[in-house]
Each structure stands twice: as structure tokens, then as C-alpha cells.
Structure 1
Amino acid sequence: MVNMTENTGSVIDEDTFSVRRTIRIAASIDKVWRAVAEPEHISRWFGRTVLDGTGVGATGTMTFPDYDVIPLRIEARDEPHLISYRWNNDDALGELPDAVDESTSTVFTFTLDEIDGGTQLTVVESGFERTSAPLENLESHRTGWDLELDKMVALVESEAAESDA
């Protein structure tokens, strides 16, 4: 069994209404890129993801168990170092719209850097000041990024160890 790399948790910046987490992953930047940029790989650790393409402007959805379908759009892409998504996530609005709502959506960006022994990944999600309950949404997403990224680290590191064996 592979021991997962221990990483610190997400932090909230109330001044910028953002959540940030920087982690280390004992896997190549290419493996981590696939995990954050390819829908079939994202679906294995995050929400079930469907996109109509892979470039900037591609749209689709992310679905979580016992939750609505969330509209999603790629905002920026610089393979294999940066990918940014915009998504709806304001629970207080009731039923989520079928397309990304610019007025209440947030943006999360993954930045990847090669480091000794693997990849450093930073995620920053911003725009919570546009949601109906900014502080509550910040806290909810802080705990969410901890949970989801820990799942991704375990998955990617175990696959990297298997392919290296």
C-alpha cells in the first residue's frame, strides 16, 4: 500500500473572498495534469464531469451524488501548467440554471509546477463575494477542497506507484 503524501489544508482569505490550497503530489506533472484537466480523470476523484471539448470556452457539467447538476466552463488553459474553470455553486439560489451564471459563479484555477519528487499543485477558488452567503460558501468550499484534493492525491499517487513498479 502506498502512503499518501501529507499536505496542509486549505486556507480562506476573507479579504479577497478566496480559498487556496497548495499540495505536493508524488507523481509527474503529466499525471497530475490529466487528473485536473481530463473529464474522465476528474470524474474519478471529484464530480462526474462532462465537457463538450478541452479548450477555453468548452462547457459542460459536474454532477455530485445527491446534488444537482452544476454548469461548468473552461476559462483558461495552459497545458500542463494551468487550467481554470468557472462553475455555479450558490446553493441559496434554489434550482441552479442550465448555464454558468456570471453574476454568482466562482472560478477555480489549478496551477501545476514540477518539483523535486513530483508536482506542486495550487488551487485557488475566488468570486465568493458574488454568492448569496460568502462566508458560509468560503467555509464549505475550504472543507470541500481538503476532501476532494486528498482523494485526488491518493488516486494519482497510487496509479503513479503502480506504473513505476
Structure 2
Amino acid sequence: MTRTPMGRLVGTADGTELVVSRTFRAGIDDVWASVTEPERTARWYGTWTGEAGPGRTIKVQMAYEDEAPWMEMRIDACEPPRRLALSAREGDNVWRIELRLHHEQGSTGLSLVHHLEPTDMEQVGSYGPGWEWYLDNLVAAREDTPQPSFDDYYPAMKEYYDSLRA
């Protein structure tokens, strides 16, 4: 199936953000629950354990990655039901991710924001398709439809995301 990439790079005072969004015909509290409750995140991203709260660290199982590894994620901000900011360390890399929600006229918009480090710019061609796939996993989990195939995202979307850096 051909998928259309929807992400964009946004310059900010602090650097560059990779933003990928989806819209749901649902209340904001229901979408918030889909991205914060462990039994619901398990359906599209992975489950998590620990005591959640700003400044605390939880363990997240990356259920759809090879070998389903566990990784620690720090909750940098939690402002229900509008904003969740997380950071994780993978080797020398630090990932800073935000989920931003807004509700308008019966729909809830969700933007996944990956705050890019200057060294991350070379990886936009792989980050973008991955986030597109995860958000479409969320759509499939919410609609109880089959999970999309990662092959429809990468390498198919790589060129689009690489071109955003130009």
C-alpha cells in the first residue's frame, strides 16, 4: 500500500523539530488515554512500567522493534490531556519527544514532535518513516484494524524526509 508522508521540519529558537501529526474523531481524554495508559500503548508502541510523573523514569518495552527491547524514558513534562514530553538515551544519542494534543469541533489532533539534535539531521530519513509508522499503528489500534507493514514506510518515505533537510 502506498502511504503519503505527512511530516515536516519546523525551525524553532531551540533548533529543529520533526513533527508528524494525525487527527482522530474522538475526545481528547480518549486519545490521551491511548498514549499514556500502558495497556493501550501496548497495542501500538509498547507497554511501560513504573511510577509515572514529571521527573520520574519509566521503563518502556519497544514491542515492535527487533527483540522487543526495554528502554528507560524520563518524563520531562506531563500536562494531561494536552502534552507529554519524554526523553531517552540510546548509546550516545538523546531523544527528546513530545506528544501534543488539541481538541477542536469533535476531533483531536495529535502531533508527535521529535526535538532534533544537530547530529540528528542526517537521520531524518529514517526517523520520519518510523514515526509515521508508529502513528499509523496508533490509528490501527484505535480503529481495531490490521497493523500497517513497515515496508510501506521505509525505505519508501526516506527520500521525502531526506528532502526536508534541503
Amino acid at match of 1:147: W
For 2:23, the equivalent position in structure 1 comes to 24
State the identity as a percent: 25
The within-5 A match list for 1:2-151 is: 9-13=6-10, 16-46=15-45, 48-64=46-62, 65-67=65-67, 68-89=69-90, 93=92, 104-129=93-118, 131=119, 134-151=120-137
| Residues 1:147 and 1:20: Cα distance change in structure 2 (over 3 Å) | same
Q: Distance in 1 between matches of 2:101 and 2:5?
A: 17
Residues of 2 paired with 1:119 and 1:18: CA distance?
Answer: 21
Q: TM-score of the superposition, structure 1-length normalised?
A: 0.71
Aligned residues: 138
Structure 1 stretches of 4+ with a deviation exceeding 4 A read none
Higher strand share: 2
Q: Provide structure 2 residue ranges, at least 5 long, that are not aligned to the other structure.
A: 146-166
- CA separation of 1:66 and 1:158: change in aligned 2, threshold 3 A: closer
- The aligned amino acid for 1:30 is D
Which structure has more relative contact order (CA 8 Å, sep 6+)? It is: 1
Superposed CA deviations along residues 59-114 of structure 1, whole A, max 9, x for unmatched, are 12223331543221111011111111111245xx5xxxxxxxxxx31211111111
Q: SS at the partner of 1:73? A: strand
Q: Please state how far the C-alpha of 1:54 moved relative to its aligned partner.
A: 2.1
- Which structure 1 segments of 5+ residues have no match? 1-5, 94-103, 160-165
